Amino acid sequence: MFPSKLSHMQESMALLKTGRTDASLAEAQNAVELNLGGYREEIALGDALAAAERKTEAREHFAKR
């Protein structure tokens, strides 16, 4: 069984809450790739990028929603 975009998003959010920004970012990127850029996935990726102090990239993903 393959992980779903939802499981990647949930894992990304959980990792972000615990301060594991790099791991959160990787999970959010996986979610975006699996869904080809759905708005929820773009927001999760934007949140992870913002937490990683990559504000310009975060804004780009927030704008896609």
- At 34 the pLDDT is 84
User: In angstroms, rounded to a whole number, what is the distance separating the alpha carbons of residues 55 and 7?
Assistant: 25
- At 6 the pLDDT is 72
Query: Which residue segment(s) compose the domain that 52 sits in?
Result: 5-63
pLDDT band at 1 (very low <50, low <70, confident <90, very high): very low
Q: Give me the CATH number covering residue 33.
A: 1.25.40.10
pLDDT, average across residues 5-33: 90
Give me the number of domains the chain comprises. 1
Is the pTM of the predicted complex or chain greater than 0.75? yes
User: In angstroms, rounded to a whole number, what is the distance separating the alpha carbons of residues 24 and 10?
Assistant: 10
pLDDT band at 37 (very low <50, low <70, confident <90, very high): low
